[in-house]
Structure 1
Amino acid sequence: MKLGINVGYWQRDPEDATETVLAAERQGYDSVFTAEAYGSDAFTTLAWYGARTSRIRLGTAVVQMSARTPAATAMHALTLDALSGGRVILGLGASGPQVVEGWYGVPFPRPLARTREYLRIVRDIWAREAPVVNDGPHYPLPYPGGAGLGKPLKSITRPLRPDIPVYLGAEGPKNVALAAEQADGWLPLFCDPEKIEEVFGGSLAGRKPGFEITATVTTVVAPLEEALTWAKVPLAFYIGGMGAKDKNFHLDLIGRLGFAEEAARVQELFMAGRRDEAIKAVPDALADSISLLGPLERIAERLELWKASPVTTLLVAGVKDEPTLKAIRNLVDA
């Protein structure tokens, strides 16, 4: 199992994660992934870290499709891939209707069909075999309106790699199946290593040899009670705040992991503004099952579950200092 880090969304305060990324590279970590929601973007920070490193692979977990046309995303990826010497992994995701329609101002429906079209265009641009056309309803090329002067174009820049790997961020069974069918990897967000086959086995049945499962795992090295408290904070936010009451993909996934009633209570408390209570209502068993929490000795035991799972890369999230990164690497290598 490979190791990477997920530095998440960039925030103006408190930090630039360059030192953590450099430490991960020194310790032999395979990759660093960045994220975006409705603030900072994923590509800028990735370029920043890429310019300061030489070996570690550079991934997005994830770039939101509705933020950019397929052509814009393909251009971002091929440029950064060439400048970094072929280190990019493009992680794509559909996000949810609240962000897509509320932030980007574009319609959310039919995310599966949009993802298929998006993927095809991005790969056609990188392949550079012919001017790119698409007659699909979501991203038609050339645009069938406007000035009426659009024409099919081929990238004037030759990509360093025409086959930049593409991973899909997916939570629902159909989305995960699409990742297995069409992508090079899957980026699960909340992942219980003991339940991957139970919850997602059918969706992953069609995956190709070499398919990557790259799971972000909140990691807190501290006394278990303290670590659980830290791990519950983002969980409460995703369950309660990252989606509408009747349309929350994260809530649905937590339900499939066996915590539907508890998740509904967390959402109820969060939406009522009782956020401290919502955090406390996150079940210990849930936070523990999808994270790595506690002293290093306990984390060593929990890592065995991940090593035995289908996960190919574990993305450590929340660790910033080099000694802890080194300790976790040693545990994975043991």
Structure 2
Amino acid sequence: MKRWGITIPFSDRMIAESGDLVGELAGLGYTDAWTAEVSGTDGFLPLALAAGWSPDLRLGTAIVPVSTRGPGLLAMSAATMADVAPGRFVLGIGASSPVIVERWNAGTFTAPYGRTRDTLRFLRAALTGEKVTERYETFAVSGFRLDRAPKVAPRIMLAALRPRMLHLAAEEADGAITNWLSPEDVRKVRAEIGPGTELAARLFVCVSEDADRVREIGRRMLAAYLTVPAYAAFHEWLGRGETLRPMREAWHAGDRRAALKAIPDEVVDELIVHGDAATCRARVGEYVAAGLTTPILAPIAVGEVSVPEAVRALAPAAS
């Protein structure tokens, strides 16, 4: 099945104001709606609302962190969502970052690979209704059992940027979720997980022919992400280490203006989809041709094209 996803909530409105537009998505050709969990909405509640607004969409988290909830609470949240949308909920989990886990949620960001692996293994057991007593490498659980295990356990996908986590996603999870990459980068990621593993990625899309304005916005977005250690290492692996070194050095020196200026136009153009709607749809098609199973579009309003207009113009039915 060809998948074409969208990010909710939409960037220009609260989730409570999104019912009509979410209700249009399946008719426009979208197959999926995915959330994120950073500092806006949580990952689950928008999907619970969307389940009622659109009974045909697959619904997923991309992603919820494994270290901002306890294992049992994460299992309860996933089980509740799986009960709300049986057979069409995908739980995407990942390590997240020190800022989100420690600075914003008073957690501990240690052993990100191990914590993600252990949480995956715990959830696999817990979501079947099994009673779990297990000492994992990064935490222990004693006597946990869901009172309401879902009739259909959700598929579980992992946020993965480099080979070790990508291999875990391919070997033990139901797919990999990645971010901030070009179509050519998709080929390198796909080579690590093989042809049969679902690969999803959030693609930031600006339906605008004002390239200068898009690049201005894009530089701010890229600097915020690509200075995070995990993403810096990801792009080092992808081959952009030297290209992005001046940006990272300026950022860590506290010179934000110089950091933004140091990001080349070609990097913005590689990592952010922009142009008129037809150009954007064609660019997303390049990602799919390179091996991306599930594009998750995240339209960003630029200039005269509103987010609802972009959502409709980017849909498969518009082509």
Give the shorter-chain TM-score range.
0.7 to 0.9
CA distance in 2, matches of 1:54, 1:304: 26
Alignment check: 8 A CA contact 1:42 1:60 kept: yes
CA shift, 1:229, in A, is: 2.6
Closer/same/farther in 2, CA of residues 174 and 137 from structure 1, 3 Å limit: closer
CA shift, 1:137, in A, is: 3.4
CA distance in 2, matches of 1:314, 1:120: 26
CA shift, 1:260, in A, is: 1.5
Deviations 1:277-303 (A, max 9, x none): 433322222222223211234334424
TM-score (norm 1): 0.82
Out of 280, 283, 290, which is 2:261 matched to?
Answer: 280
Aligned length: 310
Deviations 1:85-117 (A, max 9, x none): 433110101112343333333433322222222
CA distance in 2, matches of 1:314, 1:31: 9
CA distance in 1, matches of 2:257, 2:14: 25
Identical-pair percentage: 28
Matched, 1:238 2:225: yes
Partner of 1:43: 44
Alignment check: 8 A CA contact 1:112 1:178 kept: no
Deviations 1:204-241 (A, max 9, x none): 14x7x3x211111111111133333332221111123x
Structure 1 alignment gaps of length 5 or more:
143-151
Partner of 1:2: 3
User: What's the secondary structure of 1:191's corresponding residue?
Assistant: coil
Structure 1 residues 46-61: aligned runs within 5 Å: 46-61=47-62
Alignment check: 8 A CA contact 1:169 1:187 kept: yes
> Partner letter of residue 250 of structure 1?
Y
CA distance in 2, matches of 1:308, 1:54: 29
Alignment check: 8 A CA contact 1:170 1:176 kept: yes
CA distance in 2, matches of 1:300, 1:14: 23
Partner of 1:172: 162
Matched, 1:327 2:318: no
User: What's the secondary structure of 1:214's corresponding residue?
Assistant: strand
Alignment check: 8 A CA contact 2:134 2:140 kept: yes
Structure 2 alignment gaps of length 5 or more:
301-305
User: What's the secondary structure of 2:315's corresponding residue?
Assistant: helix
Partner of 1:228: 215
Out of 255, 268, 274, which is 2:236 matched to?
Answer: 255
Alignment check: 8 A CA contact 2:207 2:277 kept: yes
> Partner letter of residue 166 of structure 1?
I
Partner of 1:291: 272
- Of residues 17-26 and 188-197 in structure 1, the stretch that sits farther from structure 2 once superposed is 17-26
Alignment check: 8 A CA contact 2:235 2:241 kept: yes
Partner of 2:291: 310
Closer/same/farther in 2, CA of residues 100 and 158 from structure 1, 3 Å limit: closer
Partner of 2:133: 133
Alignment check: 8 A CA contact 2:299 2:311 kept: no
CA RMSD, Structure 1 to Structure 2 (Å): 2.6
- Of residues 102-111 and 304-313 in structure 1, the stretch that sits farther from structure 2 once superposed is 102-111
Out of 184, 189, 201, which is 1:215 matched to?
Answer: 201
CA distance in 2, matches of 1:136, 1:256: 29
